[in-house]
Structure 1
């Protein structure tokens, strides 16, 4: 059992600190195969993860790499390096710490391979790249420890699957290596422990004192939330007052476009010219780093941001978090709240700002979930096979391998523990030949089996292309944006290619908080100049549009069972009471379906509370069924809680529309040639190595990649419908963009019990759906006034004014 040396005890004392019990516990149990530490933000969690390493390396010199630190964010790795430098320099420890990410210069990367530091801070992608080199066994020969920070964030994505496969390879190279996972927000510790463990060994769980509950409330505003929309413009005066009353405020948004709009409107209202920045993943790296540096120095009073600042970076003197829009996920909200008062035993302070009237209910439900320590999370499925295919190619790039040994390595990963030998062989054969329909093309003939039974690359030159395409983060079709000027112009960020294609010279749009005018497209770069004069278009950015979690939806439905709602603002409580009087409120074990006429059309509203993706899919499937039955649907709109369909004919009996057999049959027909499938196929094929994102000397544009993936998809569907990539595509589509699982959950939950309420006018709960984008086609300078008039008329019809 390890003890804290006097040198470290003296250092803690010199700082006026005491060693936390969880830090000592992690040190004492450092030799266990795997440990998961769950500890609140600001409690020295990261130092706890590194303490055994610092103690190990303090008395003696170690040759080569001792500890590998894995972070989901490049910026987090850089921040940890800065933080580690303090104890190392102040205790004069003979330890070299370096980071290695996509931003690290090639010269330093080359030196790190030849002479690894004692502690290397990196990301899953950079680790996979290191493992693809022939000298990986030498680089990692002395590795003792792997520390995975923010492990919950990695466990929810393919990046985490890639990381665990990489760790299985590392464990084979370094059998005595220990694993440590760190997190502040884990809904199921045992699930994450199984995810982290190296089978068949077990992972111990250490839980620190959670500290005080956060101080989280709804922001009080003079103006009531609007009936629809996601920008929360109404709350800007109240948010600005909070910014003035605090040192540094993080203003979180769920999408990059919403962050841009809010920042623009906030800046227009910022009459005292307070220093306010914006930070999101589509901004140029130079601009993000400039904002990050200003945050560390304490130069900014507020930062409008997205998930780019979700994770555990210690950014200056942040004392307030504002969440704009319903958080959609309790765990994400807790993570964001933890950015404020980044100190142990100091409650984090946060304010929730619903963007519209329904989000008031969701925000209250989320607030109650945080107070109850009820975190949400979806069950993990089996490991994705497109990631496995990439791992096989990475392993081949490092040199010849034995298939049976690689299979046994892979099965030590929790998500792949049930992988059958035939499924592994399918992936191996795909990597070797491209599959039946593609085996005659040289570009997909990548692996061959040697006479001694080992597999190797058919052409060693393929290693470059494999390494250039490592990673599971999907580059959507984006174009760089630069200010016109000498030497290429100042980089501002990226916008989606489809948005850029719709621009004509002179159009203006928002990026990085400033209005720019589109001038031209040259060499795949959007060239712009600053233009403050006109109302800008809203650029489209990459990023996930979150769906409300199953657990949060269940809380909302439970709230509807209450007789009264003292926790809700009066205007929202009266809205729900009127809905109950005019129609019904949705129930968890029954499906509410309303039908009513409006604007010379018949409407059908389904309250499934299944999340935006599933409700969108439900709209597609129901309109397909209605079309088959001659009910003449015209269109639909979907939110996280409902799908509204309008058409020419009344649906007198909606029950037959909701049989699982009919919906599943409609899904199969719809999926066959759908754009969703092609979009999913492109991502799957890119990760698996069928399509190259990057090629030596060139990078494909989004249109080029889409064109080639569409041709491949159509070819495989026609000539090889059982191709592995098509099977994976269907699996991914069903649990991703389509999210049919939640439709099945809804039908199971309601068990065929449908409450059909036929009315003669729009209902209070359905009225906001008629204001969703795409239903009210209003454009031009008079947009706000016309939308206000449309809203007033609708709410009057629904009895809400």
Structure 2
């Protein structure tokens, strides 16, 4: 890394966890301040290096681990952090007198670029270090950072870019993202030596009978507690904030020894997160239950066990979490996977094999979002007047926006300037204007303040602050959950039982309660199983010789399924039809993830309705889709023809809430609709009302509006996962194995047991799920037809 910097090249470092990536990324900065390189000269003042991290916690952790060696070496380097949690007076001081090294996030960097001082502030910048680049480069945060890098390169032409990651499936694609567009050869690929192979095992019930259904894996709590007792520090990962609270509560119920166990997720208050992070850094906790808020790069040396509760969803994500244990290159990390049901067992098994083989997966790159580009243009306008051709040149120097031509950029500028044709008569949408000399500028300085209040890429559901009467904040719950509570209602949050006193504006005022079983649920996007793991699971199911590796009850399940029906095979689509409780059921084993299966369910039921089959409902999981109705499906190929993704898909999305929801997000990101005004924050209902009103106007008068186009791009890729729906249709066009049965099949038990419970938070109905699954299984697993009599 030092050699690449000395040669004036950008660099991408791919190395296992514990190899020293962060210090390697910073080494050229540290070297620049060494007396041997200064040659008797005094080190220059001003901002030298930006460190960009996807998580606030990671930036603070890096500061802890970077400050110590800097102080011990005696280097004259000032290091500070800047994020949404940084006090406003410190932010102002950092702009006037910046540190040598600033640790920040993509959103905070974009805001820094929106100030008039930005050209002077970044004129001294020599280096940008992007940590855990895989975590956000392929999404909208990556779009924003790519645009910011292009802006920085224009302000500091000699700036070097460095990116770090432990889990890249395709390093060259990331080199293309990191480089100025078309200059991939300017990015050196630096590969670290391989670390010790991780020790990954799968936890099974003591009787080795894996549950048919459920996601919370609460069957494992007693065994998990024994593991915690036997290790110094255990990090317990869950896939949702609800599950983090739920598993934490279950562990406390089992905590006879009163071990110090903490909880950490993104909805907890900054104070609560900092307190837990500090306790972990000091080695004071025996276990910490967490979500993706601690996925990346956190270096706590005392962690000697990582537990993944539920399905891992991807091998790269799992490797990242495993790397939190030991955090040493020469010592194997110990990890335990805890499947919640039988399909999750296969997913865990596939992930275990992928980790052993060193195989990675991850999302691919897609064209940059126009809503993000609009936000970036507004940030540039806030920093000062600009010329259209200069900014377009910067924008096109990124891989994400190389496709933007003069016509598209003119549409973006017109949107930022007027809101578009249908909105241009409203003064509040007139944010920038073009002067006679060809430069663009703000129409009024107040637009800069409003931009900085509202800029950002992450658009969560609107939140309510949870506070005690004395003002102490515990964190946030979603407005939809909080608005359903009345004074006297209780819920569990931040590991505490709370009783509602009142709801004032956007504050949920609470006090301590004796006991509560209710836990807030969150609308966060559901993570689908990766295509890589899905392919592995299908291969495992088809490999009959390999079934000997599985527990007896799982092997028996597959054998009875194979005897009575078929098993999913690579390149083919298994479809089963059978009667059950007086209705006709059809189950499609797609293995394409919940979003794709949910979308397919909506499309197929509409087509069934048109053909008079009387569909009554459907249920989707990551692995399968089951639809029930009044009449049986005789030919599933007709329902799965590729033309379903043309007229019917467009019609469904336009009539559903999906496009409105996507429009709400792009309207907020682009700055068309503001969530905050000075001293006041809009409620979620107010934001939704505003975006729905504008959406209806644009659909009627300007259906080709820039944001309608951006919303469609989101609906296709992220919300409906249309690419994976297309994969199902491709397999159906090649070969469908349509099996007609006289009753429910063993393989369909897990998905059918979710009917009526699928919308509940994972874990909320596990007991009922297990009971229903066992009832269905007793019917599905019968091998003697005479017993049915």
Q: Which residue of 1 aligns with 2:39?
A: none
Would the alpha carbon gap of residues 570 and 358 (structure 1) be closer, same or farther in structure 2, given more than 3 Å must change? Answer: same
Q: For each residue in 1:633-679, what CA deviation from the matched residue of structure 2 results, as whole angstroms up to 9, or x when unmatched?
A: 11111001111111111112222100111343221111113211111
Q: Which residue of 2 aligns with 1:448?
A: 433
Match status 1:385 vs 2:370? yes
Would the alpha carbon gap of residues 597 and 773 (structure 1) be closer, same or farther in structure 2, given more than 3 Å must change? Answer: closer
Note the C-alpha offset of 1:789. 4.4
Alpha-carbon contact 1:212-1:345 (below 8 Å) kept:
yes
Aligned equivalent of 1:349, options 334, 349, 357: 334
Q: Which residue of 2 aligns with 1:44?
A: 20
Q: 2 CA distance for matches of 1:327 and 1:128?
A: 32
Match status 1:477 vs 2:462? yes
Note the C-alpha offset of 1:784. 7.4
Q: 2 CA distance for matches of 1:660 and 1:777?
A: 29
Note the C-alpha offset of 1:783. 7.5
Q: Which residue of 2 aligns with 1:724?
A: 706
* SS in structure 1 at match of 2:588: strand
Q: Which residue of 1 aligns with 2:787?
A: none
Q: For each residue in 1:107-149, what CA deviation from the matched residue of structure 2 results, as whole angstroms up to 9, or x when unmatched?
A: 1111111111111111111111111011111101111111111
Q: 2 CA distance for matches of 1:212 and 1:239?
A: 25
Q: For each residue in 1:580-624, what CA deviation from the matched residue of structure 2 results, as whole angstroms up to 9, or x when unmatched?
A: 111111122221111111111111111111110000000011111
Would the alpha carbon gap of residues 195 and 252 (structure 1) be closer, same or farther in structure 2, given more than 3 Å must change? Answer: same
- Give me the TM-score of the superposition, normalised by structure 2: 0.95
Q: Which residue of 2 aligns with 1:279?
A: 264
Alpha-carbon contact 2:138-2:364 (below 8 Å) kept:
no
Match status 1:337 vs 2:317? no
Would the alpha carbon gap of residues 610 and 778 (structure 1) be closer, same or farther in structure 2, given more than 3 Å must change? Answer: closer
Aligned equivalent of 1:558, options 539, 560, 576: 539
Q: Which residue of 2 aligns with 1:518?
A: 500
Q: Which residue of 2 aligns with 1:20?
A: none
Would the alpha carbon gap of residues 191 and 776 (structure 1) be closer, same or farther in structure 2, given more than 3 Å must change? Answer: closer
Alpha-carbon contact 1:247-1:319 (below 8 Å) kept:
yes
Alpha-carbon contact 1:263-1:278 (below 8 Å) kept:
yes
Q: For each residue in 1:688-733, what CA deviation from the matched residue of structure 2 results, as whole angstroms up to 9, or x when unmatched?
A: 1111122122111111101111111111111111111111111111
Q: Which residue of 1 aligns with 2:144?
A: 162
Note the C-alpha offset of 1:278. 0.8
Alpha-carbon contact 1:146-1:178 (below 8 Å) kept:
yes
Q: 2 CA distance for matches of 1:777 and 1:67?
A: 46
- Give me the TM-score of the superposition, normalised by structure 1: 0.94
> What does 1:575-614 correspond to in 2, within 5 Å?
575-614=557-596
* SS in structure 2 at match of 1:766: helix
Q: 1 CA distance for matches of 2:129 and 2:773?
A: 53
Runs (5+) with no aligned partner, structure 2:
36-41, 784-789
Runs (5+) with no aligned partner, structure 1:
1-24
Match status 1:233 vs 2:218? yes
Q: 2 CA distance for matches of 1:278 and 1:499?
A: 20
* SS in structure 1 at match of 2:646: helix
Q: 1 CA distance for matches of 2:343 and 2:366?
A: 31
Q: 1 CA distance for matches of 2:72 and 2:114?
A: 37
Q: Which residue of 2 aligns with 1:16?
A: none
Match status 1:252 vs 2:237? yes
Alpha-carbon contact 2:451-2:671 (below 8 Å) kept:
yes
* SS in structure 2 at match of 1:361: helix
Q: 2 CA distance for matches of 1:618 and 1:778?
A: 20
Note the C-alpha offset of 1:360. 0.5
Would the alpha carbon gap of residues 430 and 783 (structure 1) be closer, same or farther in structure 2, given more than 3 Å must change? Answer: closer
Q: 1 CA distance for matches of 2:6 and 2:291?
A: 35
* SS in structure 1 at match of 2:745: coil
Match status 1:205 vs 2:186? no
Q: 1 CA distance for matches of 2:125 and 2:256?
A: 55
Would the alpha carbon gap of residues 345 and 603 (structure 1) be closer, same or farther in structure 2, given more than 3 Å must change? Answer: same
Q: Which residue of 2 aligns with 1:121?
A: 103
Q: 1 CA distance for matches of 2:98 and 2:203?
A: 50
Q: 2 CA distance for matches of 1:39 and 1:569?
A: 35
> What does 1:18-29 correspond to in 2, within 5 Å?
25-27=1-3, 29=5
Q: 1 CA distance for matches of 2:485 and 2:584?
A: 36
> What does 1:459-538 correspond to in 2, within 5 Å?
459-483=444-468, 485=469, 487-488=470-471, 490-534=472-516, 536-538=517-519
CA RMSD of superposed structures (Å): 1.8
Q: For each residue in 1:527-580, what CA deviation from the matched residue of structure 2 results, as whole angstroms up to 9, or x when unmatched?
A: 22322335x123112533210011111111111220231232222122112111
Q: 2 CA distance for matches of 1:611 and 1:315?
A: 33
Match status 1:418 vs 2:410? no
Aligned equivalent of 2:199, options 215, 221, 230: 215
Q: Which residue of 2 aligns with 1:57?
A: 33
Which 10-residue stretch deviates more, 162-171 or 417-426? 417-426
* SS in structure 1 at match of 2:340: coil
Alpha-carbon contact 2:49-2:129 (below 8 Å) kept:
yes
Would the alpha carbon gap of residues 134 and 502 (structure 1) be closer, same or farther in structure 2, given more than 3 Å must change? Answer: same
Q: 2 CA distance for matches of 1:39 and 1:211?
A: 8
Q: 2 CA distance for matches of 1:118 and 1:775?
A: 54
Which 10-residue stretch deviates more, 502-511 or 602-611? 502-511
Alpha-carbon contact 2:212-2:770 (below 8 Å) kept:
no
Would the alpha carbon gap of residues 101 and 533 (structure 1) be closer, same or farther in structure 2, given more than 3 Å must change? Answer: closer
Q: 1 CA distance for matches of 2:760 and 2:132?
A: 44
* SS in structure 2 at match of 1:762: coil
Q: 2 CA distance for matches of 1:652 and 1:316?
A: 59
* SS in structure 1 at match of 2:46: coil
* SS in structure 1 at match of 2:400: helix
Aligned equivalent of 1:138, options 110, 120, 137: 120
Q: Which residue of 2 aligns with 1:15?
A: none
Q: 1 CA distance for matches of 2:280 and 2:550?
A: 35
Alpha-carbon contact 2:565-2:745 (below 8 Å) kept:
yes
Q: 1 CA distance for matches of 2:14 and 2:30?
A: 21
* SS in structure 1 at match of 2:491: strand
* SS in structure 1 at match of 2:367: coil
* SS in structure 2 at match of 1:678: helix
Note the C-alpha offset of 1:471. 1.3
Would the alpha carbon gap of residues 381 and 463 (structure 1) be closer, same or farther in structure 2, given more than 3 Å must change? Answer: same
Q: 2 CA distance for matches of 1:710 and 1:187?
A: 40
Q: Which residue of 2 aligns with 1:407?
A: 392
Note the C-alpha offset of 1:775. 5.3
Q: 2 CA distance for matches of 1:91 and 1:753?
A: 66
